[in-house]
Chains A and B, each alone.
Chain A
Amino acid sequence: MEERIGRFIAALRASGVRVSVAESQDAWRAVEDLGARQREAFRLALRTTLIKDEPNIERFEELFPMYFGTGAPPLMDPQAELSPDEQQMLQQAMQSLAEQLQQLMEWLLSGQGPSQDELEELADQAGMNRARRPSPLQQAWYERRMQRLLGWQQLQELLEMLWEMLAQMGMDPQTIEQLQARVAENQAALEQQLSEFAGQKLVDNMIDDYQQRPPIDELMERPFGSLTQAEMDQLRDQVRRLAARLRSRAALRQKRGKRGKLDSKTTIRANLRHSGVPFEMHFKQKRLKPKVVAILDVSTSMRPLAEFFVRLLYELQDQIQKTRSFAFIDHLEDVTDDLLARHIDDAVHIILHKLPPGHYNTDLGHSLRQFEAAHLDAVDRRTTVIVVGDGRNNYNDPAIPIFSKICRRARRAIWLNPEYPAQWGSGDSDMLQYAPLCTEIYQVRNLAQLADAIDRMLAG
């Protein structure tokens, strides 16, 4: 049992749920207290101690039956109610039938399911250990494959033959019917067993796969564009964690900056009740209430990175209340509400859906003009303007005067560009024209650079 729970926790981790050592200890204590006999209580004890985020509950519910069963009944011995004579008949009939399916027939008719070793062997034959990137989605496929290896398709035919043969040998029809019912039950139970085993095996392999993955430091240095799907998921996690860390770091900074100059007016008023003796000091509060306007390029050239930056906007909006977010390709869309109202994944999906990629239709100049016409009031001297894009404008008018106007109104203008500085100004890139207008420019190609840039942005 202990090993089981350990494996289960490893499986949770492999599928992206963060479980700390302290939490697994809590799970132990909870299970010790409630006992593992009652399935429901056991499940709830594990869930409340291991899962701390609502979206992860689903993963838990998927994995739990793979490790602790669905409560399916074990195979039963259909021969228990047969007389010795009848048993003999059955043996003879079976022997005369197909050799290849002997194993399967034996399991069904003896009520003894496959052993762990036999299952392992079967899974290996089905190629489960060679799967390149195991995922729970493959469960049904491997399950069918294991069934085919056992000869499940021919089974029904064979069973029909068996019943016929037994009838010919003179077995009581009622007994045969009973036997049929039992075998059918066993068949269902065996199917369930195979399915569970396939699922668990996959997850087990997933754990090993997870433990062999490259460490995150290396990922930090790799460009966003060259990542596989699984690495993307991993990075996504990192972005979230990064944002959480930045949030608390920013909060600490806010606290440190709280005490300002003595506020004599409030102090005198507050100390009137102490007959003017200044007991309670009041200080001017230094409020760090930044405003952010973020403009994000989601055009074809930026597409591979767009999702990350949308996520970044989402977290930024979470962090800084007065954030306005815009996305553009050929025109500008205000996406603030999309980011505000929804869950992060939905928000990303909706925004990328709103602005489908086209062919060479990026027009930053036009988008900037639109911004000036409709949203210029969002920029004031407290505002930090963040532009994320490669500055590639398809030889359209870059609208430099307008960008310059926006920059002059804003406190700071920050540009995040994924391209190397050497590429700026080449081809249709107008970056060199925009660059002198910005307060700061960061090249952001990977997570390490992103973390660095955000940190410096929040510091100011």
Chain B
Amino acid sequence: MAEQIFDTVDAVKRALEGCLYIASDEIATVVYLAEKLGKPVLAEGPAGVGKTELSKAWAAATNRPLVRMQCYEGLDESKALYEWEYAKQMLYTQLLRDKLADLLAGASSLSDAADRLANEEDVFFSERFLLQRPLLRAINSDTPTVLLVDEIDRADAEFEAFLLEVLSDFQVTVPELGTIVARHHPTVFLTSNNTRELSEALKRRCLYIYIDYPSTEEELQIVRLKVPDLQPKLARQAVEAVQALRNIDLRKNPSVSETLDWARALVTLNAQALDKATMENTLTVLLKYEADVARARRALRLEEEARRGRKDW
């Protein structure tokens, strides 16, 4: 598997497009710089605009495995880095009991036996019994990887500080084994939904990109690429409707992924036009709160009335 080389921003953009990801110039430039400078990318923006998708697409474009770490409150080092597999160690000890008895058979004293046992300690604290968690897996991998640290804002501040250490040196110390240095620097993507302010130290080390909702044309392009079965006219109507919905004051704006779900729903329902009935029936695909659905219905009805009023006039 040959490593492709991305020499220009355009090459990055095309590669991402090849993996069904429409990248703006900004996104392509940041990804290009991340590769060149070896810096992590911190992507912020509303939920569902393709922050996570970007790293997946980049992993696919570069043919590298994606190592994903989902953050949550209470995530700690043992869940993110490594853990000793106690159960397996126990099992091995049980099964190897005879062997151990042989080993200790000729021991003259207790301390002699302990010394002999200590000599074999390495067997039990080897990589065989090390349960690798995402961070260690990304560092320890033989091939370059793409590491995705998803929703870093959900993790605690202390974990953020710990991550900082890993991201700056790309090495990890396991007391029993020694220091493991990354053979290849993984490309790191961090995403944040901005539910809390990240520390300045972390931001300082990253390239920053704010991904906002796409414009009508961009979104249409995405829909066409991902749901090619939808009629072009219907696709445009659908995208325009979603963009209009984003302008209403909703509790949760419909995201790009929900637009795509909706587009797929329209294809499945074999909808011919975006009439009132279709809209009413499928609105729940886009909006996930009862209050939002009611508000959107009201807005649609007002629009409808305005249109009819104009016709009657």
Which residue numbers of A lie inside 8 Å of B, CB to CB? Answer: 18, 20, 22-23, 26, 29-30, 33-34, 40-41, 44-45, 47-49, 51-54, 57, 244, 247-248, 251-252, 254-255, 273-274, 277, 279-280, 318
Contacts and interface: CB of A to CB of B under 8 A. Distances in A.
B33 A48 contact: yes
Contacts of A22: 204-205
Interface of B: 9, 25-26, 29-30, 32-33, 36-37, 39, 42, 44, 86-87, 90, 156-158, 161, 194, 196-197, 199-200, 203-210
Contact of A26 (B25, B32, B37, B161): B37
Contact of B203 (A52, A254, A274): A52
B163 to A, nearest CB: 13
A229 to B, nearest CB: 24
A33 B37 contact: yes
Given A57-B210, A248-B158, 12 more contacts: A26-B37, A30-B33, A30-B36, A33-B37, A45-B29, A48-B207, A49-B208, A52-B204, A52-B208, A248-B161, A248-B199, A318-B197
B93 to A, nearest CB: 10
Contacts of B203: 52-53
Given A34-B9, A318-B196, A48 B29 contact: yes
Nearest to B194: A54
Given A30-B37, A40-B25, A48-B209, A279 B86 contact: yes
A20 B204 contact: yes
Contacts of A254: 158
A244 B197 contact: yes
A34 B208 contact: no
A405 B86 CA distance: 53
A23 B29 contact: no
A44 B157 contact: no
B29 A274 contact: no
A130 to B, nearest CB: 36
Residue from B29, B200, B209 having most chain A Cβ neighbours under 10 A = B29
27 contacts: A18-B200, A22-B205, A23-B204, A30-B33, A30-B36, A30-B37, A33-B36, A33-B37, A34-B9, A34-B29, A48-B29, A48-B33, A49-B33, A49-B208, A52-B42, A53-B203, A53-B208, A54-B194, A57-B210, A244-B200, A247-B157, A248-B158, A248-B161, A251-B157, A254-B158, A255-B158, A274-B86
Given A26-B37, A247-B157, A255-B158, A273 B87 contact: yes
Given A248-B157, A248-B161, A44 B29 contact: yes
Contact of B158 (A20, A45, A49, A251): A251
Given A48-B29, A48-B207, A274 B157 contact: no
Contacts of B199: 244, 248
Contacts of A251: 156-158
A403 to B, nearest CB: 33
A356 B169 CA distance: 53
A52 B206 contact: yes
A53 B204 CA distance: 11
A22 B25 CA distance: 25
Contacts of B90: 274, 277, 279
Contacts of B210: 54, 57
A74 B197 CA distance: 44
Contacts of A244: 197, 199-200
